[in-house]
Amino acid sequence: MSALETLYGYLPCVKVPRGGEKIYKDECIYCYDNPESEGGLFVCLKSYMGLCQLHVQKFYEKFPENPIYLHLKRTKIEISGAAGGGETDDPPAKKPTRLAIGVEGGFDVNEEGRYEIQEEIAIVVMPGYESFPYPSIEDTPVQIQLAIEGILKSSGADKQSAVEAWDGEVRQVSKHADKLEQLDNGVKVPPKGWKCSRCDLVENLWMNLTDGSIACGRRYFDGSGGNNHAVDHFRETGFPLAVKLGTITPTGADVYSYDEDEMVEDPHLARHLAHFGINMMSMEKTDKTMTELEIDINQRVGEWATIQESDKQLKPMYGPGYTGMKNMGNSCYLNSVMQVIFTLPDFRKRYFEEYDLILNRAPEEAPSDFTTQMAKVGYGLLSGTFSNPPEEEMAAAAAAPPAKKVQNGITPRMFKTLIGKGHTEFSTNRQQDAQEFFLHLINIIDRHSRGTFNPTVCLKYMAEERIQCVQSGKVRYKQRSDYLLSLPVPVELAENREELIVYETRKREKESKGEKMDPKELVRAKLSLQTCLDSWAEPESIQDFYSSALQARSVANKTTKFATFPEYLMVHLKKFTIGEDWVPKKLDVSMSIPDELDLEHLRGKGIQQGEEELPEGEEPPMEEPAEAEPEIDEGTVIQLSEMGFPTEACRKAVYYTSNCGAEAAMDWIMQHMEDPGLFLHVLLHVILLVKY
């Protein structure tokens, strides 16, 4: 039988893709092999599932209605002289000038050198792997041609959620630009010699385009940057747009919209600057743009790979359990959580040791099956298949070059797409919190483990809360389940407190003069995990407690202990707090973790002899706000929201504390975590959401 006759016999098994259909041509749906892997990738011409050489046979045996595949095989061929291993006439790699990937002037997506891509395409029929080169077959059936061309031209399912050529400099025109209000207040800004109107800083300055006020920018987590005075000005006035002084040139400048919370374009910038006496055409650049600052950070991230732990170069590890995960753009929260949970035996047992069993039970649409994708991540991290030393390292250790192409880490994009589906935060590429994602993951695993082995049980424990009414002396014991222990970080109990006081004093003195501390002089608070545990176990005062013994509100003390201990305790350190300037900040601390930790003194023992229980009785519901909308300080709401508390809870807290400030509102939230209706969305018992 001729090749043409053979292919005609499979036309009922071929489907021409329509616009918007997901085509998995970038990676195997069961593992992380791709068209550049040794066996290439086989894309089903009916279901569009992508399979590696190891899994295509199993897929066909499960779904024999899918016998015909497009085989994609790509080989990178290094261009002579591009490896950088010897003398070459090639120019050195250009330094990035744009915050972009895969575009001119941006970060290069190629690996180290330059490569040519050699691509082989064939039609393969199962079960015998009968192969027909494409497009060399004359008169290939039109339906098969259309299916193949549709697959080749598609962007692929992975790239529908991640664009390869990303340009971070593309900014939208601000919604405020056309009708920006500018006050006729007589303010005229000189072309140089600027200083923050609220402190002595003379760099990182922003001029508000409504009233011409000049203030310093945000303070960064490491203490550098400004003092947040430009942000404070926006919160006080609501004036939305500011331009970064020192970046103004005849071609443009950095403009930030506080209302839209992003860098924007202002097409009328020259007119807006002229209102305050600034001639845009005569200005020169004297400060780094935000793009240049971000490029510096991205380059430092690359340097971190070779300059780790205070100039100590560490030897990379390879093999099972030492597989890295590539960043997909703000995905460090996901990568870190997945790496941690797959060190636990129960998760290894469920998703790695039962990998073959899970694949045998997987549906045809495996990319949409949570258990299958968890097993795929487990196999990727623990099999060692995707954790091999670089070829040059292997070649140096052996007489002959390696026979098999190696891969460096995995990119769990298929898993990220699935676990974020339908979630307002995890479905985006924005930065997220690892603790929040961990609880989201636990919730989903628990939902998909009904009737089967549930690996999350090893993390589950019961907390015992003891609440004592101060006035009556009566007590109430409650138990709740949890999967994570959130500990406070009491900086005031730091072991090097005196050293910290001296450092902070020197830092304030320098900042008052417009100077910055040398990063080498940084002093971090030193704390032990035991100190954090002791602080967590301290009694907490509840000022607005309803006592069923008194039938009135009173003051109570609450202590929390462990009713049961988990097999593995997941700990979360609350590293965010509100500073003296009411701005949320991340604590920079050095934490001492002991090899052994005795928690026996934190074991709860229930009601004790001589204690009298508070009588049963429901607390009267919280009084709802009057129908007329109360005045709520939106600035305080924003501060609390930035710390991760749900907006609805923040608004209630500000209302019930009579706009007394962020600290009072945060205390109110902590005291009412158990109140019904406080939060709109709660996945598990208590979720303190913070942003990294």
Query: Is 231 or 113 the better-scoring residue by pLDDT?
Result: 231
pLDDT, position 112? 47
pLDDT, position 555? 93
At residue 576, does pLDDT exceed 90?
no
pTM for the whole structure: 0.68
Count CB-CB contacts under 10 A for residue 651: 20
At residue 36, does pLDDT exceed 70?
yes
Query: Is 112 or 535 the better-scoring residue by pLDDT?
Result: 535
Of 271-275, 332-336, 633-637, the poorest mean pLDDT is in: 633-637
Across the strands, what pairs with 214? Answer: 207
At residue 138, does pLDDT exceed 70?
no
pLDDT, position 668? 79
- Looking at the chain, the whole-number percentage of residues with pLDDT higher than 90 is 51
Instruction: Using alpha carbons, select from 43, 67, 68 the residue that is nearest to residue 150.
Output: 43
pLDDT, position 496? 93
Does the annotation list 318 as a binding residue?
A: no
Would the CATH topology of 460-618 be identical to that of 621-692? no
Query: Which string of b and e fits 666-684 if b means at least 16 CB within 10 Å?
Result: bbbbebbeeeeebbeeeee
Averaged pLDDT for residues 39-55: 96
pLDDT, position 535? 93
The answer to whether the CB of 45 falls within 8 A of the CB of 148 is: yes
Does the annotation list 261 as a binding residue?
A: yes
Of 114-123, 450-459, 673-682, the poorest mean pLDDT is in: 673-682
At residue 450, does pLDDT exceed 80?
yes
The answer to whether the CB of 377 falls within 8 A of the CB of 455 is: no
Averaged pLDDT for residues 655-681: 67
**What confidence tens digit (pLDDT) does each residue in 349-364 have?**
999 999 999 999 999 9
Does the annotation list 258 as a binding residue?
A: yes
* Domain 3-167, CATH class in plain words: alpha beta
pLDDT, position 644? 63
Count CB-CB contacts under 10 A for residue 444: 17
The answer to whether the CB of 327 falls within 8 A of the CB of 287 is: no
The model's confidence at residue 50, banded by pLDDT at 50, 70 and 90, is very high
Does the annotation list 256 as a binding residue?
A: yes
pLDDT, position 667? 73
**What confidence tens digit (pLDDT) does each residue in 157-187 have?**
665 555 433 444 467 899 999 999 999 999 9
At residue 407, does pLDDT exceed 90?
no
Does the annotation list 115 as a binding residue?
A: no
The model's confidence at residue 310, banded by pLDDT at 50, 70 and 90, is very low
Tokens of 3: 């090749």
* Domain 332-455, CATH class in plain words: alpha beta
At residue 484, does pLDDT exceed 90?
yes
Of 182-186, 283-287, 377-381, 497-501, the poorest mean pLDDT is in: 283-287
**What confidence tens digit (pLDDT) does each residue in 59-75 have?**
999 999 999 999 999 99
The model's confidence at residue 96, banded by pLDDT at 50, 70 and 90, is low
Averaged pLDDT for residues 197-204: 90
Of 51-55, 81-85, 244-248, the poorest mean pLDDT is in: 81-85
Query: Is 334 or 511 the better-scoring residue by pLDDT?
Result: 334
Pairing of strands 115-125, 166-167: unpaired
The CATH architecture one would assign to domain 460-618 is Alpha-Beta Complex (3.90)
pLDDT, position 157? 67
Could you please report the per-residue DSSP string of 407-447? Answer: -B-B--HHHHHHHHTT-TTTTSSS---HHHHHHHHHHHHHH
At residue 25, does pLDDT exceed 60?
yes
**What confidence tens digit (pLDDT) does each residue in 671-691 have?**
666 554 554 333 332 333 333
Of 16-25, 125-134, 442-451, the poorest mean pLDDT is in: 16-25
Q: What angle do CA 441, 372, 422 make, to 5 degrees?
A: 45
Domain 171-312 homologous superfamily, CATH: Zinc/RING finger domain, C3HC4 (zinc finger) (3.30.40.10)
Does the annotation list 194 as a binding residue?
A: no
Of 93-97, 125-129, 178-182, the poorest mean pLDDT is in: 93-97
Integer CA distances (angstroms), 123 to 23, 133, 147, in order = 16, 6, 11
* 135 cis-preceded (ω within 30 degrees of 0): yes
pLDDT, position 625? 46
Averaged pLDDT for residues 572-593: 77
Distance CA 357, CA 361 (A): 6
At residue 318, does pLDDT exceed 60?
yes
At residue 367, does pLDDT exceed 80?
yes
Could you please report the per-residue DSSP string of 535-596? Answer: HHHS-EEEEEEEETTTTEEEEEEEEEEESS--SS--EEE--EEE-TTS-EEE--EEEE--S-
pLDDT, position 74? 93
Q: Which amino acid is at 592?
A: S
Averaged pLDDT for residues 520-547: 91
- Looking at the chain, the whole-number percentage of residues with pLDDT higher than 70 is 78
pLDDT, position 394? 55
The model's confidence at residue 424, banded by pLDDT at 50, 70 and 90, is confident
The model's confidence at residue 581, banded by pLDDT at 50, 70 and 90, is low
pLDDT, position 659? 77
Does the annotation list 681 as a binding residue?
A: no
Does the annotation list 221 as a binding residue?
A: yes
The model's confidence at residue 405, banded by pLDDT at 50, 70 and 90, is very low
At residue 386, does pLDDT exceed 70?
yes
Q: For the domain 621-692, what is the CATH code? A: 1.10.8.10
The model's confidence at residue 569, banded by pLDDT at 50, 70 and 90, is very high
pLDDT, position 444? 95
Domain boundaries, the chain: 3-167, 171-312, 332-455, 460-618, 621-692
At residue 492, does pLDDT exceed 60?
yes
Integer CA distances (angstroms), 179 to 3, 233, 241, 273, 280, in order = 68, 20, 12, 15, 20
Pairing of strands 552-562, 525-528: unpaired
The model's confidence at residue 650, banded by pLDDT at 50, 70 and 90, is confident
The CB-based long-range contact list for 534-543 (8 Å cut-off, 24+ gap) reads: 535/487, 535/488, 535/490, 535/493, 536/485, 536/487, 536/488, 536/560, 537/561, 537/602, 540/670, 542/467, 542/671, 543/667, 543/671
SS3 471: coil
pLDDT, position 304? 43
Contacts of 679 (CB under 8 A, 6+ apart): 646, 648, 649
Does the annotation list 536 as a binding residue?
A: no
